[in-house]
Structure 1
Amino acid sequence: MASAIEDPSSGVLRTDNAELAHEIENYKDVIKDAAQNDEVEHKQTVRQAWGTHKKAVFWSVLLSAALVMEGYDVVVITSFYEQPSFLKRFGSVNPATGSLVIPARWQSGLGNGSSVGGIIGLMINGWASERFGPRRTYIFSMFGMIVAIFGPVFSQTLIQLTVSEILCGLFWGVFQTLTTAYASEVLPIQLRHYLTAYINMCWGFGILLSSGVVRATLSINSDWGWRLPFVIQWVWPVPLLIGAYFAPESPWWLVRQGRYDDAEKSVRRLTNPDLFSPDDAKRSVANMIHTTAIERKIQARTSYIQCFSGIDLRRTEIAMMVFAIQLLSGENLIGQGVQFFTQAGLGTIATYDVNIALNSMFIIGTVASWFREPFYLIQSA
């Protein structure tokens, strides 16, 4: 049997048809169906894709709401640094001014705690979603989220609060990539970039919501002034759990497990039966089977090291810079807006009002990002 070979002109690994013929049952039929599906999908307009995949859009939008929860949760903690009730419980007296402040080291701990947990969650998701499937991983993580929220709600010290943020971050890390991968796998190519960009907009909705909630609780002088925003986090998991329970599993994952009949059923649940026939679903799954077989053959002869050589190095550089631009443009500073405005001399109420306006820009920027490359250049400039 032939093996994956490297194209000397580009350094890209390729797989020949003879090799795949041994791996795919009814190879000729699969290839024929896959080719037809690929041709039809690439000729579809956005409007046509919307008509055939309305259900897929619905499920993607629903499960992506986890990022509204995450955007809210991740940023709400940094909005507390100037909140009177939070300072009363967790603050220390600044000898220079005599006012209550959250020490810088604890600000770093609280602000970065969820990121530490998120990194772990990202790594866990890569294994768990492939082992158990995106849907079950999503459901389990939502159950974990319900339990984890008890931590920040009932914390009495900064240590407890920091540990709680790390634990919550673990599950937030799962949702970060799981929702994007699910959207990419259930949607046709014409709709993917809109719905994956929508996931980022969900972050914006969550961040804006957290700003409004913290602003609304400024007048509460008891511990409920800072606890209530944490309690509101329990609003999200239950409806999202119900939605995930009824959501179709990713057909791509089912194909990777060899469950082709289940994959066809999943595709039919994700599409409009009036515009997408059972034969269309069969051809769609055939395309997945063919693509998965190619990926497995190539991956058998590749490693992470090859991401940094040949033409793949350029791809790696592009992917890394696209994500790095977000940080290099000051994205992380948005969580410190409240403190910056206070240090600049704004009053407490005015600070939180301006913070709401600042965070609303997140949503506007996401809409503009649908134009992709030009907006990246404008934003960086």
Structure 2
Amino acid sequence: MGQTDTYYDEEAVAGPGEVGDNNKTVQYVLENTRDAVEEERQLGVREAAKIYPKAMFWSVFFSLGVIMCGYDAQLISSFYALPAFVERYGTYADGATEKTISAAWQSALGMGNPIGQIVGSLCSSWPAERWGRKKVLIACNILIIGFVFIQFFSPNLGVLCAGEILAGLMWGAFVCLAPTYASEVSPVALRGILTAFTNLAFVIGQFIGQGVCAGFVSREDQWAYKAPFALQWLWPVILLAGLPFAPESPWWLVRKGRKDDARKSLARLAWQEGEGLDKALLVIEQTNLLEEELRKTTSFFDCFRGVDLRRTEICAMVYSTQVLCGNPLMGYINYFFTQAGMDPQKAFDMGVGNTAIGFVATCLTFVSLSHFGRRSIYTTGLYLMTVLLFVVAIIDCVPNYDSHSGIMWAQGSLLDVWTFLYQLTVGPLTFVIISEDSSTKLRSRTIAVATAFQAACSIVTTVAVPYMFNPANGNMRGKIGFFFGALSLICATWAYFRIPETKGRTFEEIDIMFERRVPTRKFATYEIFEQ
């Protein structure tokens, strides 16, 4: 590799005890990394992509597990409108002439995924810090192969629900590991794009799930729902074939005192040698030095202490907003349209189209992230989505709704626009923000806490939404937009006052700004080196 000694200075990574108090540590780190930080700031997206193609590949590869998470969630909610599934597992409601999946079972099945995610996300952070991101992801893929067997062979809804809970354990781990790894292997210029890919992986999973269900909706045998379950075995096989060759996170290796391994990992992530690698390693070590001085321990309790409480609040609230802003509606879009009187095949086609729109929007995010700030994209999208939810609810109040088929299509079109805005703004930006606003030493635990909060919100909506939609209960149809519109407005107001701008900032700069308690709206213009 060459010329390690030409740039790297062993004295530049002195231990915390040699530096003194926090202010001296901050100044010490800033002086040591000023040139390297400025160079990384000047690196554009295209230049970074040329230097770090391998980092881009492995970041995307780690996110493949999230595809399974999106696929599974979409599968279960789509099955409620799948005739063969309803015929096998459904029951007759009082006075009904056709079978349906009861609201109670819809809630139970829907809760399996988020309940598992709560436990899985919280439990995965410790082994991820103990044994590394790669080994934990390998173990999760081995386990998910077994859990899919439970779903595939489930003789009743109770066993299927158990399979969903167990699979949810792995989904929680995948969702935590993917953005954590992406943020730790990518340069500043690519960090937003690669962490946002986590959301694209979700959308890809949803799109595949919608497409698979649409393809099997006309089948009347058990393979209409068993074949979609069986397809889940594809992704673990792909991941297990490639993960042994993946480089470990250099940030994790530095925290474990494995400097040589960290440098080798950096070399496997970038097309550069010598001084470039040394500067990257220096920034990682100095940022780690800073965090060791600022926080002596790294337990879950530390996520709720001092300045980290603010960072945890931001991550948890941003992630929970994915649920509170109305996204659960999209999971029930097929059921929504069938209950409104649409033919099942057309309902599934509408669902596939809606997911395809989300896919295009998420891809466009990669462009917007290069030109606009995280805060402006997130808040603007959230306010526009709030307006659309209220419009969907208002037009549902038109007298004689059932006799106006055009209203149904109008609502469908508005929900398509809502999906486009969500997948362009709130959806992908969530993973960017939680990866950047969490500290490097507490990142896996902070993201785990945020995932648990989001999953807890999902449990509440999973219980409530089926009863709101079900004709035998709330039968709210589009009026559910009033409920989610109000929640979305609260989230948008919070976001305006609490989400800072971190575009173009290194982890070192973000740590320092939070430590200095820089006001939210001054993050974008704050000059680290002039203070």
Give the TM interval when normalised to the shorter protein: 0.7 to 0.9
C-alpha displacement of 1:304:
6.9
Cα 1:77–1:198, aligned 2, differ >3 Å: closer, same or farther? Answer: same
The question of whether the paired residues in 2 share the 8 Å contact of 1:113 and 1:165 is answered with yes
Letter in 2 for 1:73: D
Which residue matches 1:154? 153
Between 1:332-341 and 1:182-191, the stretch displaced more is: 332-341
The question of whether the paired residues in 1 share the 8 Å contact of 2:25 and 2:293 is answered with no
Letter in 1 for 2:95: A
Q: What does 1:205-216 align with in structure 2 at a 5 Å threshold?
A: 205-216=204-215
Which residue matches 1:277? 273
Residue 72 (structure 2) pairs with residue 73 (structure 1): yes
Describe the superposition over 1:42-99 as per-residue Cα deviations: whole angstroms up to 9, x where unpaired: 1211111111111100111122122122211121011101212111221111232221
C-alpha displacement of 1:191:
0.4
Correspondence for 2:333 among 321, 332, 337: 337
Which runs of 5 or more structure 2 residues have no equivalent in the other structure?
1-16, 388-531
Give the match's secondary structure for 1:236: helix
Cα 1:90–1:142, aligned 2, differ >3 Å: closer, same or farther? Answer: same
Separation in structure 2 between the aligned mates of residue 305 and residue 127 of structure 1, nearest angstrom: 13
C-alpha displacement of 1:306:
7.8
Residue 32 (structure 2) pairs with residue 16 (structure 1): no
C-alpha displacement of 1:169:
0.5
Residue 375 (structure 2) pairs with residue 379 (structure 1): no
Separation in structure 2 between the aligned mates of residue 46 and residue 255 of structure 1, nearest angstrom: 26
Which residue matches 1:170? 169
C-alpha displacement of 1:102:
0.8
C-alpha displacement of 1:316:
4.8
Residue 305 (structure 2) pairs with residue 297 (structure 1): no
Give the match's secondary structure for 2:332: helix
Cα 1:237–1:307, aligned 2, differ >3 Å: closer, same or farther? Answer: closer
Which residue matches 2:225? 226
Q: Percent identity?
A: 37
Q: What does 1:1-381 align with in structure 2 at a 5 Å threshold?
A: 1=17, 14-17=22-25, 32=32, 34-272=33-271, 276-300=272-296, 315-369=311-365, 370=369, 371=372, 372-373=377-378, 374-381=380-387
Spell out structure 1 runs of 4+ moving beyond 3 A: 1-5, 17-20, 301-321, 367-371
TM-score, normalised relative to structure 1: 0.87
Letter in 2 for 1:194: I
Describe the superposition over 1:124-171 as per-residue Cα deviations: whole angstroms up to 9, x where unpaired: 121111011000011110111111110110000111000000000000
Letter in 1 for 2:337: F
Cα 1:265–1:308, aligned 2, differ >3 Å: closer, same or farther? Answer: closer
The question of whether the paired residues in 2 share the 8 Å contact of 1:325 and 1:380 is answered with no
Give the match's secondary structure for 1:16: helix
C-alpha displacement of 1:219:
2.2
Describe the superposition over 1:254-287 as per-residue Cα deviations: whole angstroms up to 9, x where unpaired: 1111000000000000001xxx223321221121
The question of whether the paired residues in 2 share the 8 Å contact of 1:3 and 1:19 is answered with no
Separation in structure 2 between the aligned mates of residue 264 and residue 270 of structure 1, nearest angstrom: 10
The question of whether the paired residues in 2 share the 8 Å contact of 1:87 and 1:101 is answered with yes
Cα 1:353–1:301, aligned 2, differ >3 Å: closer, same or farther? Answer: closer
The question of whether the paired residues in 1 share the 8 Å contact of 2:117 and 2:170 is answered with yes
Cα 1:18–1:143, aligned 2, differ >3 Å: closer, same or farther? Answer: closer
Separation in structure 2 between the aligned mates of residue 157 and residue 188 of structure 1, nearest angstrom: 48
Describe the superposition over 1:97-125 as per-residue Cα deviations: whole angstroms up to 9, x where unpaired: 22111111110010110110011110012
Separation in structure 1 between the aligned mates of residue 288 and residue 382 of structure 2, nearest angstrom: 32
C-alpha displacement of 1:242:
1.4
The question of whether the paired residues in 2 share the 8 Å contact of 1:15 and 1:298 is answered with no
Letter in 2 for 1:94: A
Letter in 2 for 1:283: K
The question of whether the paired residues in 1 share the 8 Å contact of 2:36 and 2:280 is answered with yes
Between 1:368-377 and 1:298-307, the stretch displaced more is: 298-307
TM-score, normalised relative to structure 2: 0.64
Between 1:64-73 and 1:181-190, the stretch displaced more is: 64-73
The question of whether the paired residues in 1 share the 8 Å contact of 2:148 and 2:233 is answered with yes
Between 1:324-333 and 1:220-229, the stretch displaced more is: 324-333
Give the match's secondary structure for 1:137: helix
Give the match's secondary structure for 2:155: coil
The question of whether the paired residues in 2 share the 8 Å contact of 1:251 and 1:264 is answered with yes
Cα 1:358–1:326, aligned 2, differ >3 Å: closer, same or farther? Answer: same
The question of whether the paired residues in 1 share the 8 Å contact of 2:25 and 2:290 is answered with no
